[in-house]
Structure 1
């Protein structure tokens, strides 16, 4: 049905609130980076209009730092749409500070806590190969 796939990967050593926070922020990022994934607004039986959500399924995986870094490298090689979340972003209080700490990360060795990937199914599957679905 879909020729693209969206996959979130969250580091498996985070507290539950951190995992949820990372996925929430990455979800907003993928919606902005790929607005074509957004479905139509919802309307209930009384005619009340609600917002719209992504129209395609999204999977959430968990991995250690090595798994995240490997997926990131494949994502770069395959030119996937990606949004990374790095550990130092937990210590900031606003978007500009997030970008500052992100800029200081070593692109070849990011301290990733989360990553969302979107692109052709085969390429995304290759990036997430061997990872387990989040429990």
Structure 2
């Protein structure tokens, strides 16, 4: 995915504009700790399966190394249950790489239980509280249509 010399969504005039977008959409009624937890889980899914979203490792002036992070900003949005359901449908229709977090996952305690909780619910009945998507800017923009930037 190539970068151009335009500005990105952070409005930093010196930053490159990316052809792609990473977006997280959260249900608006989550507690602060839930928003942080859901966002962390969702973006870990993208980073683990899409090597192109990860940049190079970091190193400080003393030569101490640090893990690589996303190569571009992660934009966080919020919306209602209906906005999330519509975004999920659009992400599926566009076959965009996606990660989901359902309300049921707040009651589980480990990865295997998380997967079982999602597997137990048909797609249209998922109680989504979070969705992360990655793809071409215009495709991701269409997926998050109706959501607003997280304050």
Which has the higher relative contact order, 1 or 2, with Cα contacts under 8 A spaced 6 or more apart? Answer: 1
Structure 1 residue ranges, 4+ long, deviating more than 3 angstroms after superposition: none
**What is the alpha-carbon distance in structure 2 between the residues aligned to residue 67 and residue 109 of structure 1?**
14
Contact 1:65 1:112 in 2 (8 A): yes
Maintained 8 Å contact 1:4/1:118: yes
TM-score by length of 2: 0.87
2-structure distance, mates of 1:95, 1:108: 22
Q: Let me know the Cα RMSD of the aligned residues.
A: 0.9
Per-residue CA deviations over 1:57-101 (Å, capped at 9, x if unaligned) read 110001111111000000000110011100001000000000011
1:62 aligns with 2:78: yes
Q: Deviations over 1:87-121 (max 9, x none)?
A: 00100000000001101122023100000011111
Q: Any idea what SS the aligned residue of 1:61 has?
A: strand
- 1:130 maps to 146
Q: 2:95 is matched with which residue? A: 79
Q: Partners of 1:100 and 1:22 in 2: how far apart?
A: 17
Instruction: Report how many residues are paired.
Output: 135
Please give the secondary structure, in 1, of the residue aligned with 2:124.
Answer: coil
In 2, are the aligned partners of 1:5 and 1:118 still within 8 Å (CA)?
Answer: yes
Indicate which of 46, 63, 69 corresponds to 1:53: 69
Q: TM-score, normalised by structure 1?
A: 0.96
Unaligned residue ranges in structure 1 (runs of 5+): none
